[in-house]
Amino acid sequence: MFSKSKPMWGKKTKLKSSYDVVLIGGGLHSLATAYYLAKEHGITDVAIIEKNYIGYGGAGRNTAIVRANQRTQYNVPLYKEALDLWPVLTKELDYNLMFNNCGNLNLMHSEAAMNAARMTIATAQFHGVESHLIDAKEAKELVPALNISEDITFPIHGAMFHPPGGVVRHDAVVWGLAKGASKLGVEIHQQTEATGINTKNGKVTAVVTDKGVINTKQVLISAGGYSAALIHGFLGIKLPISVLTIQAMVTQPLKPILNHVVSSGAYHCYANQTLKGEIATGAHMDQWPNYTTLNTAHYIKHQAEALSEFLPALRGVRFMRIWGGLADMTPDMAPIMDGNEQVEGFFMDCGWGYFGFKSCSAVGRHMASFMATNTCPDILKPFALKRYQEHKLMGETAALVSYTPDN
Amino acid sequence: MALTITCPICGKRNGYEFRYGGEEKGPRPDEKDLTPESWCDYVHMNRCVAGVQQEWWFHRDGCGSWFTIFRDTTTNLEKETPEAKE
Ligand SMILES: Cc1cc2nc3c(=O)[nH]c(=O)nc-3n(C[C@H](O)[C@H](O)[C@H](O)COP(=O)(O)OP(=O)(O)OC[C@H]3O[C@@H](n4cnc5c(N)ncnc54)[C@H](O)[C@@H]3O)c2cc1C
Ligand SMILES: [Zn+2]
């Protein structure tokens, strides 16, 4: 991967001693920000600093689900923009992102959940996002494999159906954006670790890396689950984040049985069938913070039990591959995007938990505008770190019954 | 990798018996002179250490004790002291 041969996205360049903008982390958010900095603002003296290789983090580990049926008026428009961007980016980047808008079916297991779904659907519809409430029988018509009998742990009362969502090939987004950004002049430096940020009189002056010091006036930390530790380590800024391992797995390939992404909050489980036929499924997060990214027997068992209850046709099917990644969770299940606030020239884009894939395109675009103009776009304003102090939490989670790292 | 936690009353037990209670942040700030900033800092803010941290646990499915331990967040292993290395 790091051999002399040329990387697939462009030329390998030497790390310079200064750039206009440095982006820490080679995930989707940095790649998208770099791409839009170059494309929409003509800022091309940009370096992405990546400790391992691009796509090493959540970018290459997520379960690729995209949707725009979030809960609050601040989040829905951002995710809608991101969802609308997939076909646009596919063309623009001339790269097949394999957007499969098969629709998402979010199962509801109580009347209270159905009521909560009504509100979420009303919000979606108000913002022009297609979303419907359907009953258990209609859900069964959409997904015949679904078990709608009453004798399972969490009987299905109905579902929130969101036709425009689906899945996008996550690796393709990494490669496509890397290629697109690199073509416009952005440099991607893999195997380069950021180890500090230098400031003087409250302003960013340089990024320190294991390959040397890079002078710059602007730096963005968007290093997925690693962001919070880096931001605290480099600048002493604490964040309302808990970093948890989240696990995923795929089964052996099967004939087509699942036409939609199916998810269940009560079962802490979601699944979709990949184009190869595997059932890709994700679990809830570990219950305590950790950076291990290891799978545990606990969740493999949990996943098997949950799937064989609400999709009983999967009983006896084998898991083929398992993996884990990091989710950086905030108390209100909404991200933190901020800049020029704590330190002039310092920007952050983190707290994306397990929903930072679907948002990356729109977020990159707005973060680029934020950095290029030094003016926070209106759409990002509610996501500032200050909101926790002001007690303006976002309400992406309906009620904080017990305040835990994973909510 | 199995997580085990040592409860001061019950000894070393399976980690799933416990509920994580957050990073150790020192005493609750005094009501006097409390600002939104210092309260927010106490309630919400974390260091997110990738390494050994002191943290609270609650023996939920056991004796009900609250206590702190040191744990390496990169390995899930309990440590005797904050400096403990592999
Ligand atoms: C199992 C799993 C399933 C998920 N499913 C979904 C989903 O279905 N839909 C969805 O929207 N989201 C999902 N997510 C969340 C999503 O993947 C993340 O929110 C998103 O990828 C994080 O943003 P990123 O891609 O910019 O960062 P990442 O890809 O996490 O990038 C961070 C990068 O920073 C690098 N780095 C770390 N430290 C340093 C340093 N000191 N210097 C330089 N570089 C450094 C790392 O090597 C890494 O490559 C999932 C995540 C996981 C783990
Ligand atoms: Zn005990």
| Claim to verify: residue A392 and residue A257 sit in the same structural domain | no
Question: What pLDDT score was predicted for residue A404?
Answer: 74
| Claim to verify: residue A112 and residue A219 sit in the same structural domain | no
Inter-residue long-range contacts of A82-91, CB under 8 Å, 24+ positions, other chains counted: A82/A358, A82/A359, A82/A360, A82/A361, A82/A362, A82/A363, A83/A164, A83/A165, A83/A358, A85/A361, A85/A362, A85/A365, A86/A168, A86/A361, A89/A173, A89/A176, A89/A177, A89/A361, A90/A176
Q: Residue A252 maps to which CATH number?
A: 3.30.9.10
φ/ψ of A75, rounded to 5, equals: -85, -40
Of residues A284 and A271, the one with the higher pLDDT is A271
Of residues B45 and A406, the one with the higher pLDDT is B45
pLDDT digits (tens, 9 = 90+) for A229-241: 999 999 999 999 9
CA atoms within 13 A on the CB side of A166: 20
Work out the pLDDT band at A4, boundaries 50, 70, 90.
Answer: low
Q: Residue A231 maps to which CATH number?
A: 3.50.50.60
Give the residue from A304, A329, A354 where a domain finishes: A329
CA of A110 to the centre of ligand 1 (A): 33
Question: What pLDDT score was predicted for residue A133?
Answer: 98
Question: What pLDDT score was predicted for residue A8?
Answer: 86
Question: What pLDDT score was predicted for residue A395?
Answer: 87
DSSP state string for A122-164: HHHHHTT---EEEEHHHHHHH-TT----SSSSS---EEEEETT
Give the number of other Cβ atoms within 10 Å of residue A28's Cβ.
Answer: 30
Query: Are the C-beta atoms of A174 and A59 separated by less than 8 Å?
Result: yes
Query: Are the C-beta atoms of A320 and B29 separated by less than 8 Å?
Result: no
CB distance B48–A241 less than 8 Å? Answer: yes
| Claim to verify: residue A256 and residue A220 sit in the same structural domain | no
pLDDT exceeds cutoff 70 at A346: yes
Residue A97 lies in a domain: no
Residue A82 lies in a domain: no
| Claim to verify: residue A314 and residue A343 sit in the same structural domain | no
Work out the pLDDT band at B82, boundaries 50, 70, 90.
Answer: confident
pLDDT exceeds cutoff 70 at A1: no
Work out the pLDDT band at A382, boundaries 50, 70, 90.
Answer: very high
Residue A391 in contact with partner chain B when CB distance is under 8 A: yes
Q: Whose CA is nearest to atom 53 of ligand 1?
A: A325
Mean pLDDT of chain B: 93
| Claim to verify: residue A235 and residue A246 sit in the same structural domain | no
pTM: 0.97
CA distance to partner chain A, nearest, from residue B20 (Å): 6
CA of B6 to the centre of ligand 2 (A): 8
Chains A, B: CB pairs < 8 Å: 65
CA of A245 to the centre of ligand 2 (A): 25
| Claim to verify: residue A121 and residue A179 sit in the same structural domain | no
In three-state secondary structure terms, A80 is helix
Mean pLDDT across the stretch B57-65?
97
In three-state secondary structure terms, B19 is strand
Give the number of other Cβ atoms within 10 Å of residue B63's Cβ.
Answer: 12
Question: What pLDDT score was predicted for residue B86?
Answer: 44
CB distance A290–B74 less than 8 Å? Answer: yes
User: How far apart are the C-alpha atoms of B28 and A82, rounded to whole Å?
Assistant: 41
Chain A residues within 8 A of B37 when measuring between CB atoms? 389
Residue A146 lies in a domain: yes
Question: What pLDDT score was predicted for residue B83?
Answer: 65
Query: Are the C-beta atoms of A24 and A216 separated by less than 8 Å?
Result: no
- State how far Cα A363 lies from the chain centre: 10
pLDDT exceeds cutoff 70 at A401: no
Mean pLDDT across the stretch A152-170?
98
Work out the pLDDT band at A402, boundaries 50, 70, 90.
Answer: low
According to DSSP, residue A323 is labeled: E
Query: Are the C-beta atoms of A115 and A176 separated by less than 8 Å?
Result: no
Containing A91, the helix (H) or strand (E) segment is helix A75-92
User: How far apart are the C-alpha atoms of B20 and A287, rounded to whole Å?
Assistant: 7
User: How far apart are the C-alpha atoms of A245 and A243, rounded to whole Å?
Assistant: 7
Work out the pLDDT band at B60, boundaries 50, 70, 90.
Answer: very high
Query: Are the C-beta atoms of A21 and A218 separated by less than 8 Å?
Result: yes
pLDDT exceeds cutoff 50 at B84: no
Q: Whose CA is nearest to atom 19 of ligand 1?
A: A356
User: How far apart are the C-alpha atoms of A61 and A55, rounded to whole Å?
Assistant: 8
pLDDT exceeds cutoff 70 at B77: yes
Strand blocks (E) in A222-341? 242-251, 261-264, 269-273, 279-285, 319-329, 336-339
| Claim to verify: residue A355 and residue A323 sit in the same structural domain | no
pLDDT exceeds cutoff 70 at A176: yes
Question: What pLDDT score was predicted for residue A9?
Answer: 87
Residue A298 in contact with partner chain B when CB distance is under 8 A: yes
pLDDT exceeds cutoff 90 at A283: no
Give the residue from A305, A329, A353 where a domain finishes: A329
| Claim to verify: residue A251 and residue A323 sit in the same structural domain | yes
Q: Measured between alpha carbons, how far is residue A183 from residues A32, A55, A232 in Å?
A: 13, 18, 33
For chain A, the domain total comes to 2
Question: What pLDDT score was predicted for residue A397?
Answer: 82
Amino acid at A368: A
Q: Looking at domain B4-79, does it have CATH number 3.20.20.60? A: no
CA distance to partner chain B, nearest, from residue A170 (Å): 26
Radius of gyration of chain B (CA): 14
| Claim to verify: residue A249 and residue A384 sit in the same structural domain | no
User: How far apart are the C-alpha atoms of B18 and B54, rounded to whole Å?
Assistant: 16
Give the residue from A329, A345, A376 where a domain finishes: A329
| Claim to verify: residue A49 and residue A116 sit in the same structural domain | no
Domain housing A255: 104-163+242-329
Chain A residues within 8 A of B5 when measuring between CB atoms? none
User: How far apart are the C-alpha atoms of A368 and A186, rounded to whole Å?
Assistant: 13
pLDDT exceeds cutoff 60 at A323: yes
pLDDT digits (tens, 9 = 90+) for A177-203: 999 999 999 999 999 999 999 999 999
Chain B residues within 8 A of A322 when measuring between CB atoms? none
Q: What is the ipTM of this complex?
A: 0.94
Question: What pLDDT score was predicted for residue B10?
Answer: 98
| Claim to verify: residue A303 and residue A249 sit in the same structural domain | yes
Mean pLDDT across the stretch A164-170?
98
| Claim to verify: residue A275 and residue A153 sit in the same structural domain | yes
